[in-house]
Amino acid sequence: MFKRALLLINGNSEQADKQKSLETVSGVIGSRVKELVIFQTQYKGHTEAVCYEHGHEYDVIFVLGGDGTLHECVNGTALLKEPPVIGILPGGTCNDFSRSLGIPQSIKRAAESLITGDVQYLDIGRANDRYFANFYGIGLIAETSGNINENLKNVVGKVSYYISALQTVHQIKPFPFMLQADDETIQDEAVMVLITNGNYIGTNQLPFQTGEMNDGIFDVFVIREGGQALLREYINAKTAFSFENDQTSIQHYQATEVRLETQESMDADSDGEIYMKTPVFIQNFYKKLPFLVPYV
Ligand SMILES: Nc1ncnc2c1ncn2[C@@H]1O[C@H](COP(=O)(O)OP(=O)(O)OP(=O)(O)O)[C@@H](O)[C@H]1O
């Protein structure tokens, strides 16, 4: 049983939604921990600040939000000497990292499965001086997140993600890059380079058999061309290891350290948040943070 638990919830969300989520979560978690502190965040970046400044006071922090909120929590707790356990209550649109951990997508069921779940130490990526849980990418992925119509996202969620992706596929031109994946150096052109830890993006499971999130290794995907060829390949792909790297528009590598340079500095997307730029040096921090996962 955890002694001290912190529940972080977006204080700016709709009052009715917030009230309902609070009742649900505190009902499930409150009886299973000695002390539950509820904190409403007030601004973007507040989750990160609270996790960094107060994380050491708790055994477990529950974050109710999507991948962007989790991204903040990871960046706050990764700097702590003894980070608390993180429980993700999927309250965003995509919730990709929670999907990768097999967490149910209803908040009530997520809370129930986590409070009776296991603690697992999982890998976390660091891109220059910022951490990420799920992925880091440039090209199509950053264009897609940037293109998402926020109103549409709220209404149709994941569908809008793919409408945006399909629109972007036709627009994007390949860019030259230099990628160093451990000892292998690749100089080529691509429409997207993706470094993944988790295995869901835009609510969909990657159609590749990727590694675990506690093996210290990233999957690196280089998507050489967009349009029909990519979509056909993406849809038909069964496992990453079925790709013949020279013959397809998707190349796959695995690496612990990745250097990525582009001719011109490009926007990068980490966990759905766009605020970084290339060049980047990415490292996998083996089993860096403890997470609650459903018991299997
Ligand atoms: N209290 C807050 N006030 C303002 N912004 C916040 C607050 N809490 C979180 N945010 C920011 O809001 C953005 C969206 O939140 P979040 O990622 O949780 O939801 P989402 O985008 O719907 O989910 P997903 O990324 O899973 O699709 C993130 O950039 C996050 O940092």
Mean pLDDT within 82-105: 96
Please give the Cα distance from 98 to 105 (Å, whole number): 8
How big is the CA angle at 172 (ends 257 and 207), to the nearest 5 degrees?
A: 55
Minimum CA distance residue for ligand 1 atom 5 = 44
CB of 134 within 6 A of ligand 1: the answer is: no
| Catalytic residue ranges | 273
CB of 48 within 6 A of ligand 1: the answer is: no
Q: What is 4-123+289-293's CATH number?
A: 3.40.50.10330
Domain ranges of the chain: 4-123+289-293, 135-286
- Beta bridge mates, 131: 126
CB of 46 within 6 A of ligand 1: the answer is: yes
23: exposed, middle or buried (C-beta count within 10 Å: 0-12, 13-18, 19+)?
Answer: exposed
Q: What is 135-286's CATH number?
A: 2.60.200.40
Per the CB < 8 A criterion, the answer to whether 78 and 71 are in contact is no
Minimum CA distance residue for ligand 1 atom 10 = 44
Task: Give residue-wise pLDDT tens across range 122-163.
Answer: 999 999 999 999 999 999 888 766 655 555 455 445 555 555
Structure ipTM over 0.85, yes or no: yes
- The model's confidence at residue 79, banded by pLDDT at 50, 70 and 90, is very high
Minimum CA distance residue for ligand 1 atom 29 = 68
How big is the CA angle at 95 (ends 91 and 99), to the nearest 5 degrees?
A: 120
Query: What is the torsional sign of CA 48, 284, 264, 165?
Result: negative
